[in-house]
Each structure stands twice: as C-alpha cells, then as structure tokens.
Structure 1
Amino acid sequence: MNPRIKQRLVGAVVLVALAVIFVPMLLDGDDSSMPAFGSNIPPKSGYQFESLDIPPRQPISMEPKAAVVEKEDAAPILTGPVAEVEPEPPLAAEEGEAKTEPEPEPEPGEVKAWAVQVGSFSNSENALRLRDRLRGEDFDAFVEQVKSSGEAIYRVRVGPEASRERAESLMERVKAKQPDLPALVMGHP
C-alpha cells in the first residue's frame, strides 16, 4: 500500500477516535447546573386514628378468699429395696429443634423504616421524571441523593413504611402497576 494513503488513513482514524472521546463531553455540558437537593419525602397522607373507649379496671380485692381443697386418695406407700437410677447425660440440641432467641432491639443507626427502591440514576432529571410518573399512579414517591465514588446518585423510592411486610406489599402493588420497574425493598434511615 502507498505510504501516503497509510498516513491519511492513520490520520483519519486518530481524528475519529478523538471525536468519539471529546464530542460526548461537549454535548453533556457542565454538571454544575444540576440542582443540589437532598431527600424530599412527601408527607404521608391518609392515616386516620380512632380513639377507643377502654373501661376502667376493677380494683383488686385485698381480702383473702378461702380455697376449697378436696381430699384425694393417697397413693399406697411402697416398702422394699429402692433401685438406684443413673441420671442420663443431658442431650445436645436435637437436629430438628430450632433455637428461638428474641430479636434484638434495633440500635440507633439501624433500619427504622422500609422503602421500595424502583430506580437509581446519575441524572437527576431522569429520577424526577420517574418520581412524577409514580406520583401520577398515586404512590408516595421521592428522590434521595447519595454520594457514591464522589458522584451524586439519585435513588427513586416509594414509601416509607414502618414494617417490612407493609413495604413488601407496597412493592407488589408497584410491580402490578409498573411491571417494567425493578422494585426492591430497602432499609430507609
């Protein structure tokens, strides 16, 4: 191949590579125009509380009452030699037996509520668009901004709910109305 044609082809490849690298940077623009916001959770609506009338407790009587004891036939007394019984060694917990321990109280910094995460975006406009779409479906959606590797990430969540069971029920409702969204139940501080 002619050296002049080789030089032109190499030059064209270099120019195309530079265009591929720098044109997207120029089109994206400066990210400083993006609004800086934190979590904007809408107030939870629709809760109604009912007051229950509880009758006052009856005072406990301090007077002792006589208990009626019926006399039962006593077992016959055995006489004779008594056999020594060796105590059996205590058995370790059987395989089918499960140990039940009370759940520890949540410590500060642990999950206090649950929310359904339906998306995570690096662009706030995409996150706000999804939030508005979910609010149009009567979900309490909000956007939460977090820093990951020095970059802002915008999480779109629905909720929060006080219990994990209610959050899982909410996740099923979101999946029913928006099957294209990857919904996950996440802890919400």
Structure 2
Amino acid sequence: MDSGFVNRLVGTSIVVVAAIIFIPNILDGEKVHYKEGFKAIPERPEFTTVDLQDVIDERAEMAPEVTGAPIEDIASDDQQFVAASTDDGVFETPSAEPTEPSSTQTNKSDTDPKVVAKTPTATRAPSSNLTSMAYVIQLGSFSHKPNVDALVEKLKKNGFKAFTRPVQTPNGTLTKVFVGPDLNKTKLEAKLPELKKLTKLNGRLTQFEIAK
C-alpha cells in the first residue's frame, strides 16, 4: 500500500474517534444549559391575585347593612281631624273615656280584617302582570288610636277601602291612614275631592308596593 494513503486513513480514523468522543459531551452540555434556563419559568405563578380577591370578598361581606325602619319627620293630623269631626257632630261619642277600650277593640277587629282584605286586592295584579306597584291616598298620620278607628269607620261607611300602617317619627309612633290600594292612578286621584269633603283632610296620592 502507498504510505500516503495509509497516513490519510490513519488521520481520518483519528478525526472520527475524536468526533465520537467529544461531540456528545458538547451537545449534552448545551442540553443541561437549556434545562437550567427553563427552571426559572415555574416560579412566576407565585405572583397571583388570589389574595387580592379574598380581600375584596371580605370587604363586600363587611358592607353596612340597612337595619330598622326609616324614621319620618311628620306631624300628626289629630287636631285637624278632631276639629272637623266635632263640626260634623261625629266626635260626640268618643268623649266617654270608659267606653274607649271596647270601641277600640271592636274597631280593631274591623280594621284587622281590612288589612287582610287588602291582600285580595294585591291578587288583582297578576291579572294584568304589568306592575307590582299600586297607588294609595294618604289621608293623614295620627297619634291617638280612637282618631284612627273613627276615621277608618267613617271611610268604610262611605264605601272606601282603608287600611293603616304604623310609622316611626322623632316624636314617637304615628299611624298613617290610607285609602286604596288601586292600580288605576287616575281613578284613585278622582276620589281626592270627595275625600276632602268627607274628612276635611288634605289627602295626597302616593305609590304603594304590593306585598306578596
């Protein structure tokens, strides 16, 4: 064999052996380097907004609650009603003090069914299914129950539906007297002059939410 060919063959063999030995080490070193680079990525989920959401939820739960009935600053209409009733001769009977408890109880039994009788009125709302709000006429606010009972009885005798509702004021509890409720605002508003003539009280039309 030619000595030049032998030298080339030996040199090629040395290069191949060197490549087999050193190239895997070089490639493995690069792989280890890339793996170390990816290790920092999983640390990022530590910066989450979970704690912030918990704080928001806690503050929402700590929001102030609405407690108690609202206090209205209104004056009673007892004097006006008593004066009007005295002129009409209606208030001659209540002057007997001992009779008041029995008349109060009888009138109370009449008033309570009237409140219950208001519920069927609310049942008329599903027939229209248009609104849960009705209208009432507020006639006045009274501090003495005999005045409330006398007014309710007077309204009933003249064909009006009436009910009462207690209200808190800075001076104590008053009782409001209402006529209605009615879903027809115009129809109820037309009764204001008749009620004014009957009770001498200035009623006003207001909205009333039908309790279900």
| TM norm structure 2 | 0.36
Tell which structure's C-alpha radius of gyration is larger: 2
